[in-house]
Amino acid sequence: MPEDITRGEKLIVALDVHSLAEAESIIDKLIPPVKIFKVGLGLFTLYGPEAVKLVKKKGGSVFLDLKFHDIPNTVVHSVKSATKLGAYMMSLHIFGCVDMMKGAVKAAREEAIRLSIDRPRILGVTVLTSLTEADIKEVGIGRNLNAQVLHLAEMARKAGLDGVVASPKEISLIRKRFGKDFIIVTPGIRPGWAGDKGDQKRTTTPKEAIEAGADYIVVGRPIIEAKDPLKAATKIIEEVEI
């Protein structure tokens, strides 16, 4: 993993809740053991920048997971805005192609320099964890799932992205191909004690994901829906530090 990622930062908790009050309650329970929180489409659609500001106010870092995917100019403006908000990481869809991704990288770098802040990491989404081999064929992709993930990851690397978002099932393939300095963020994490996988189909446990080479794991429901979120998060942190 990149040298500046500490083991305590490997867990990202997804704030997939319905209000800022719920988000604040979760953050208050989990900081300081948890350092990074994901703000996704649901919370951001309701509260916008206030959701990001809340996490930062509490002392956390933000993975802004809005999966930007549009014409290059629109994504450039979005990335500038996310950089100005102080996002630690953000995501975009690799399907937006190279010009869009290169524009995003350039925009983040220039905006960070202008504001004298650290540049956010930009990650490309490969294939969603809810999709199967049959699903990608249904939308007209001729490659098998593993080959498609590697193809998209190669596009991301050539465009200058810091890494990718990929399911646990492709971690080792990506790590072998692209080396230790290519960041891999992995959703689809389900601890053995968590039960239902929900709508995610390509999943694994926290320990298995880290051992396969993930830099970060994203966990939502097994923590935020637990009776004791701190206890659940601590169990996962202890598992990935073994």
pLDDT of residue 1: 45
Interatomic CA distance for residues 221 and 45, integer angstroms: 19
State which H helix or E strand residue 14 sits in.
Answer: strand 11-14
Give the pair of three-digit tokens for residue 183.
């960041």
pTM, rounded to two decimals: 0.92
206 within some domain: yes
How many domains does the chain divide into? 1
Q: Find the farthest-apart pair of alpha carbons in the chain and give their distance in angstroms, rounded.
A: 47
1 within some domain: no
Q: What are the 10-residue block averages of pLDDT along the chain, 242 residues in total?
A: 59 96 97 96 97 97 98 98 98 96 98 98 92 88 92 97 94 96 93 62 82 94 94 92 68
161 within some domain: yes
36 within some domain: yes
pLDDT of residue 196: 58
Residue 92 belongs to what domain range?
A: 7-241
pLDDT of residue 23: 97
163 within some domain: yes
Which spans in the chain are helix H?
20-30, 41-47, 49-57, 72-85, 98-115, 133-138, 145-159, 171-178, 206-212, 221-224, 229-241
2 within some domain: no
pLDDT of residue 38: 98
103 within some domain: yes
Q: Kindly report the CATH number assigned to the domain that includes residue 163.
A: 3.20.20.70
Active site residues: 67
Q: Is 212 left (phi over 0), alpha (psi -120 to 50) or beta?
A: alpha
pLDDT of residue 137: 87
24 within some domain: yes
